[in-house]
Structure 1
Amino acid sequence: MKYITHPGDIERESMAIIERNTPGLANWPVMEQAIVKRIVHTTGDFNIAPLVKIHPRAVASGLKAIHQGCTVFTDVNMVLAGLNKKKLAQFGIRTACRISDPDIAAEAARTGRTRAMIAIQRAGTLTGDIVIIGNAPTALFALCKLIDTGAARPALVIGTPVGFVGASESKELLVALDKVPYITVAGTRGGSTIAAAIMNALLYME
């Protein structure tokens, strides 16, 4: 059995297959196509493309934040693990995830709220930063509330929490608010790998 072994060749062939088989891909602007292709590549599913929602200012706002050396704040460490470290360093981007902080854990135990939710509530204004929520719907609900009240104003929200309790609803709320640029995947599907893939797609747009 013959198969491709060169990493560059594997990626090029993967993207060519995605371009041939993803419904409606050509209808997206070129930069947004790159994001959709990364999501398809990560999930191995051509049919996820119609679920992707990208705010009209998302790419421009995200790239501006990246080139200004923003902080990337994530809900879980798994998202951080999937980000391209070389690209983050190239742009001087700082990363933060407070879900494992002892004070966050203590407050979660005391109040019965999720650690991800409390971490977002304690993240500050997030002005000019990129927030990536790839796992916890409660974190996205909390962020939406902060955005709605004007307490937080990130440059971009990548919101792809996954699951059957609150994930779809939290993403619907993010889109309905329409107060900050966002990238999301409608419905119950999502996860840290998709969230990281979206951020990496932006990092590759030098």
Structure 2
Amino acid sequence: MTEFILEPGQIEMESMRIIRAGLKRPWLDQEYPVVERLIHTSGDPSLEQVIAIHPQAISCGLEALKKGATVITDVEMVRAGIAKEKLKLLGGSVECHLNDPEIAQQAKEWGITRSMTAFRLHPERLQGAIVAIGNAPTALLEVLRLAEQAETRPALIIGIPVGFVGAKESKDLLWERQDIPSITVLGTRGGSPLAATVVNALIYTALREG
């Protein structure tokens, strides 16, 4: 009969040991927490090959968090997965405007998605924020459009929408924008749990560093 590790801390330590031992790319020390958490959350070691981290992404994300930056998400599922109490210790909070009362009607009038509308109606919230997108490629496209102006440019974009219509293409556009610090998973894979886990990796790193 197989013997299972039952102690939670031991399970996590062993998971991280296995993940670290299997890594094939030469990551920087500051990138390991993000890479390891993405693989841990997905359960997929092959994900390493499509993780893309901008050279300034980690430092810009940590700096923003230590200053109490707001994290803005495209959907409630990303918001739900973020360690909000830990973020609060840094002076930050999480926002998602997708279900604000005016969004549905305005999206219908403009002929665009609700997730896109949520960002378009609150552009002032983006400056210096961390944007975490795990579901909607259209939201990522809107954030990239708004980020062309300094007054609506986030400190970091975590863009990991999932799917077969626009997800890969929107992430390719994000990665082409090397003027904006970003973290993404190229291709069709992604999702809310991955976007949230990147935010959490940064939160916990910021708390450790103080």
Q: Aligning the two structures, in what range does the TM-score lie when normalised by the shorter sequence?
A: over 0.9
Query: Tell me, what secondary structure is at the counterpart of 1:73?
Result: strand
Matched residues, number: 204
Root-mean-square deviation (CA), in Å? 1.2
Runs of 4+ in 1 over 4 A off after TM superposition: none
Aligned residue in 1 for 2:119 = 120
TM-score (norm 2): 0.93
Q: How many angstroms does 1:84 deviate by? A: 1.1
CA contact (8 A) 1:70 1:128 kept: yes
Q: How many angstroms does 1:79 deviate by? A: 0.4
Aligned residue in 1 for 2:20 = 19
Matched, 1:140 2:140: yes
**Alpha-carbon displacement from aligned partner over 1:79-110 (angstroms, at most 9, x marks no partner):** 01111123112111121100011101111233
**Alpha-carbon displacement from aligned partner over 1:38-75 (angstroms, at most 9, x marks no partner):** 00000000010010111111011000110000111000
- Give the alignment of 1:1-206 within 5 angstroms: 1-24=2-25, 27-125=26-124, 126-150=126-150, 152-205=152-205, 206=208
Q: How many angstroms does 1:165 deviate by? A: 0.6
Q: How many angstroms does 1:182 deviate by? A: 0.3
Query: Tell me, what secondary structure is at the counterpart of 1:139?
Result: helix
Residue type at the aligned position of 1:171 = K
Query: Tell me, what secondary structure is at the counterpart of 1:131?
Result: strand
Q: Which structure 1 residue ranges, 5 or more long, are not aligned?
A: none
CA contact (8 A) 2:76 2:96 kept: yes
CA contact (8 A) 1:148 1:179 kept: no
CA contact (8 A) 1:23 1:47 kept: no
CA contact (8 A) 1:148 1:177 kept: no
Query: Tell me, what secondary structure is at the counterpart of 1:188?
Result: coil
CA distance in 2: counterparts of 1:151 and 1:115, whole angstroms:
23
CA distance in 1: counterparts of 2:143 and 2:116, whole angstroms:
8
Q: How many angstroms does 1:4 deviate by? A: 1.6
* Overall identity of the aligned pairs, in %: 48
CA distance in 1: counterparts of 2:175 and 2:121, whole angstroms:
23
Residue type at the aligned position of 2:74 = D
Q: Which structure 2 residue ranges, 5 or more long, are not aligned?
A: none
CA contact (8 A) 2:127 2:151 kept: no
CA distance in 1: counterparts of 2:148 and 2:169, whole angstroms:
16
**Alpha-carbon displacement from aligned partner over 1:120-156 (angstroms, at most 9, x marks no partner):** 1122241111011110000001111111244521100
Query: Tell me, what secondary structure is at the counterpart of 1:56?
Result: coil
TM-score (norm 1): 0.95
